[in-house]
Structure 1
Amino acid sequence: MARKGLGGPTDPQGSMVVLPTDEPLAASILAAAVQVFGSRGYHGTKVSDIAAAAGVSPGSLYNYFDSKQDVLSTILQRAIDVMLAATEMAFFHADPDPASRLKAIVGAVVTTFATEPVIGRIGEIELMQVNPEDRKLIISKRQAEQRIFDRVIEDGVNRGVFKLELPRYTSLFVVSACVGVGSWFDPGGRDSVEQVVGRYQRMALSTVGYGVFEAE
């Protein structure tokens, strides 16, 4: 599968799926595709729609991507790479107690999807449109993300810090809630990313039975 002119994570243009190593036209195509997929859905989007939004000819898209499906796959793979890297970094830099680590990793995931919620929505809705090989890789990375949360919550239970009966199900619930921020968060709305992160951190700690939930 072609990835001509494309490199690995980070973002000069404000989108997590655009990398500093991307050629300008490839970057424009990816950024435009995020918006078009987000508003029209995968099946409602044509290559010509992405090209028009990016300000390029449809033929230019094929200089960088094999197909519309390839564009979607690139977006979803880069998004999960960003989330996984942010979560790993948060885990390793947090204080080693379970509560601090849980707050850190919740903050990483919520920040990722509150910063660019449309990508979170695309990931949840359109994953099945990616080819099986790429989908398997994306799912394996999601599972790696889940294992970080499993590890933190199980550690908290083993230490007697978290009080809950079903750590695995609780971990799944917390991750789903954090990723789900992308389904509703409005970056231009009343609540800031920082406020939402703080609320989700407190709710996560309450969910695992740590301390007493305090209203804002």
Structure 2
Amino acid sequence: MAGRPSAAPGDAVIIEASIATMAQHGYHGTSVRDIALRAGLSPAALYHHFPSKQAVLAVIMERGIEALLARSREAVEQAGEDPVEQLRALVAVQILFHLEDQRGTLLGTSELRALEEPTRTPHLAKRQAQQRLFDGVVAAGVEKGVFHTPLPAEAARAIVVMCTGVASWFSPSGSATREEMVERYQRLSLDMVDAE
């Protein structure tokens, strides 16, 4: 599983069981036997798919950040040259992605400390690349005179944290839909960069 872990179609049940179990008990509180039990497998059968619990975590973490990066890059490209539209597009992706699988994305945030090498360093680089997309859009907006924040780097970081955090409390049965949350956070984000 070194390098770029990826999941084969037959591994989906194990990954789902791992997310559910680790979300409930944490990475260190979850055993291979726990995952296998939830997946309806024997531990030996699980080891046929993944060599370790760490390998499962690596796949979960990597598939998440790679998908988020790909969607974010596409969103910025499709938004055109306007920093306002680019920021709106990034906010939409950041929120909707994290609400697609709230347990999985929360696991990706909370268990980053458990991720080991050789996956950890390249994974952190991908997370930094995601942050740099926001940094670049906000900086470009300031340079073009569209955003007036005196703290572009801090504003970009705050927007990412704010949007990612929606997954920790959003409920589909709540008073706002996912789309309404996107609209609200787009407005908040533009306020944070002091958009015209």
- TM-score, structure 2 as length reference: 0.93
Asked whether the 8 Å contact 2:2–2:119 carries over to 1, the reply is no
Partner of 1:192: 177
Give the superposition deviation at 1:44.
1.3
**In 1, distance between residues paired with 2:149 and 2:73?**
24
Matched-pair identity in %: 38
1:53 aligns with 2:73: no
Partner in structure 2 of residue 202 of structure 1: 187
Alpha-carbon distance in 2 for matches of 1:62, 1:75: 16
Q: Which residue of structure 1 aligns with residue 95 of structure 2?
A: 110
Moved over 3 A (4+): 187-190
Query: Aligned residues, how many?
Result: 195
Q: 1:176 aligns with which of 161, 174, 178?
A: 161
Specify which of 106, 120, 125 is matched with residue 121 of structure 1. Answer: 106
CA distance in 2, matches of 1:166, 1:116: 32
Corresponding residue to 1:62 among 24, 38, 47: 47
Q: Is the 8 A contact 1:2 1:64 kept in 2?
A: no
Instruction: Identify the range of structure 1 (132-141 vs 190-199) with the bigger mean alpha-carbon deviation.
Output: 190-199
Which structure 1 residue ranges, 5 or more long, are not aligned? 8-18, 212-216
AA of the residue aligned to 2:102: P
Aligned to 1:38: 23
Aligned to 2:80: 95
Which has the higher relative contact order, 1 or 2, with Cα contacts under 8 A spaced 6 or more apart? 2
Q: Which moved more, 1:123-132 or 1:99-108?
A: 123-132
SS at structure 2 position matched to 1:95: coil
Structure 2 residue runs without a partner (length 5+): none
In the alignment, the residues of structure 1 paired with residue 183 and residue 144 of structure 2 have an alpha-carbon distance, to the nearest angstrom, of 24
The structure with the largest helix share of the pair is 2
What letter matches 1:179 in structure 2? Answer: T
Q: Name the structure 2 match of 1:13.
A: none
Residues 165-188 of structure 1, C-alpha deviations (whole Å, 9 max, x = no match):
011111111111111122222234
> Residue 165 of structure 1 corresponds to which residue in structure 2?
150
